[in-house]
Chains A and B, each alone.
Chain A
Amino acid sequence: MTTAPAKPRLADNPTPQGRFGAFGGMYVPETLVAALTQLTSVYDQARADQKFWDDLRDLLRVYVGRPTALYPARQLSERARRLFRPQGGDAGGATIWFKREDLAHTGAHKINNTLGQALLAKRMGKKRIIAETGAGQHGVASATAAAHFGLKCDVYMGAEDARRQRLNVTRMTMLGARVIEVQDGSKTLKDATNAAMRDWMASVEHTHYIIGSVVGPHPFPMIVRDFQSIIGIESKAQFLRTIGKLPDAVVACVGGGSNAAGIFFPFIDDPAVRLIGVEAGGHGSAPGQHAAPLSHGSPGVLHGSLSYVLQDPAGQTAPVHSCSAGLDYPGVGPEHSFWKDSGRVSYTSVTDDEALDAFLLLARAEGIIPALETAHAVAHALRLAPTMSKDQHLLVNLSGRGDKDVEEAARLLKARDERSPT
């Protein structure tokens, strides 16, 4: 069921000024303020309009294939118990469950947000949408929504990401979108986001910018979270129906943080459910070697909001690294910063190597090839589940499928084998 998300206590954020505690806000040039104000008021109207949610629910059902399945990954749970059993005792090991967002149309959770925002664009009478994309999943989901609703679509993508996610570039082009490769800076998601914001500065009167994650100026972090909350809402209902109780822990990967926000938010006021976000640990904790702002960053302003960010002492955004284009981003959504500081969600990271191992393990144990982003969440779940008891349940947001990643993963695995032949 898609309805306006209920608003319990901790979830009663942001403030009308877009604040999640100290985080969030709207740090943009004046040119964009009118568009953000319009978006806030159009979203407020839509949020209170049952017809809007009915339209979106129908679309999610017949076009996206929702609800997505809840799947007990029994072989993987058993492998996790054998591989990562804590020394000095067997806790029994929790059952790992997957919320199968990889089965949603276009292969990831991103479509939940782009269809919702495309409906808002229509309400605002805007005929063109733009998007930034890292792994290309949000770009594909935006191009798909544009094709569905007859909108013009331009997608900004860092040239390095376009190289490592070539399949998705082709998909976007097939869907009728124009992919604009960004050659600035690190040629990745941060630079694509800058480019999209610059486009919007000039085109704001007739263009809607569909931000792909729970980042950016208010009201984007709230809107994207709300559209992605369908993941957690369905998960809760499926757990109650399947095993008669909620899961004991929920794990999701965090780049900007939209799939994590979507699955966490409906559980945020269920304190018995542990929530764990997994950032990209890259090659290690040294500066420039990872993309884990919640683990290693400090508060700062990037792309319109105040949140944890990886930056140098002079306030310049620091270089980041992840094998996963979707997590290769120096910032994170402001609500995650709020959840971190409030202690409600704990955040950790896994390395490129751990993610690659999980990628292969999941493919072979369950016959599911996950996105490299998603593999980070799986890698942490493999370590966490064996520390839990046999009657416990660990839910992982399987946020996307890995077709886009198979070539890059094969390249990385080959390079690794050549470095350390076994």
Chain B
Amino acid sequence: MPRIEDIFAERRSAKKGALMPFVVAGYPPVKNPAVKPRPMATSEVLAALDGAGASVIEVGFPFSDPIADGPVIAAAMHEALEAGVTPAGIFDDVASIRPFIKAGLVAMVSVSIAWRWAGGPRGFVAAAARAGFDGFIFPDAPLEESGELLGACRDAGCTASLLVAPTSPPERVAAIAGACTGFVYVLARTGITGQATPQGEVAGRVGEAVKLVRRSTDLPVAVGFGITSAQDVRAVVAPPPAGAGADAAIVGSVIVKRMGESASRGQDPSSAAAALVAELAGGL
């Protein structure tokens, strides 16, 4: 837990917002006509993003049936799975780079995957923590189904962030915020990942949601879904009335998409992701 808390504390004291890029572990697969595709080393991506302005990096664990993800991330997950990515492989890869990077690492993982791990969710969280993950988001475990997961994260010394949606009523927002550790994840809109959130809505509607969360917790607030540009990042972290006044902006689909495009052009996806993250960090 200390790493993520320290990172947000440092950003707050510098009066700066934080950028939280999201990547899909193992994507894009390394394709070489001579051999079978293999998952990309996520460690390379993490190293590249660490120096490019990412405070916390979300690592998405590929799942065959991600119901909250749009076409870009769902397709990336399927490609990574076909190339053979596994949770155990992700853990090994992340453990190899953890000592060399400063950024916080958050695992974004479906309860389905955690459930199947030998030793169940508790064993999964413990193994991820040993590999160097600092926190968890289980996007398909709402408050009602989070009890065991939250306990496992606490015992492993990791943070657990639940989602707040535009459809969550105020009393529920308070309960969700109260159950989070590390930071609270506010969804900028309904729908799936990878669809733009109109900038006008960020300062207004999303700002209201951030304010509502702040009423029940001092934890940092991160906003994600539909954040695609440096301007969007600016709108998320700028103080009201110009922005939503959040602590961090989460950016996923555009980074995943850029990595896929660069790989298909024969370029290095890690550098492409780093360049995009540096550009996005310009909005902080």
Chain A contact residues, CB within 8 Å of chain B: 17, 25-35, 184-185, 190, 194, 197-198, 201-205, 299-304, 306, 311, 313-317
Contacts and interface: CB of A to CB of B under 8 A. Distances in A.
Which 9 pairs from chain A and chain B are nearest by CB?
A: A315-B116, A202-B191, A34-B167, A30-B163, A31-B165, A30-B165, A197-B67, A301-B112, A316-B64
Nearest to B62: A316
Contact of A26 (B144, B162, B176): B144
Residue among A29, A34, A198 with most chain B CB within 10 A: A29
Looking at chain B's contact residues, the main secondary structure is loop
B190 A316 contact: no
Contacts of A34: 165, 167-169, 172
A308 to B, nearest CB: 13
Given A31-B166, A185-B64, 8 more contacts: A27-B111, A27-B140, A33-B144, A198-B67, A301-B111, A304-B67, A313-B116, A314-B88
Given A27-B111, A29-B67, A30-B168, A201 B142 contact: no
Contacts of A313: 116
Looking at chain A's contact residues, the main secondary structure is mixed
Interface in B105-146: 110-117, 139-145
A28 B140 contact: yes
B87 interface: yes
B165 A202 contact: no
Nearest to B85: A314
A57 B169 CA distance: 35
A201 B190 contact: yes
Contacts of B63: 315-316
B213 to A, nearest CB: 12
B65 A29 contact: no
A204 B68 CA distance: 13
A267 B113 CA distance: 36
Interface in B65-96: 65-70, 74, 78, 81, 86-88
Contact of B190 (A197, A204, A301, A311): A204
B164 interface: yes
Given A26-B142, A27-B140, A30-B176, A302 B112 contact: yes
A314 B86 contact: yes
A204 B112 contact: no
A178 to B, nearest CB: 19
A190 B65 contact: yes
B52 interface: no
A357 B167 CA distance: 51
Contacts of B167: 30-35, 204-205
Contacts of B172: 33-34
A301 B67 contact: no
B103 interface: no
Contacts of B195: 202
A29 B142 contact: yes
B30 interface: no
A301 B70 CA distance: 20
Contacts of A194: 65-67, 74
A29 to B, nearest CB: 4
Contacts of B242: none
Given A27-B140, A30-B163, A185-B78, A201 B68 contact: yes
A113 B263 CA distance: 47
A321 to B, nearest CB: 16
Nearest to B75: A184
Contacts of A33: 142-144, 165, 167-168, 172
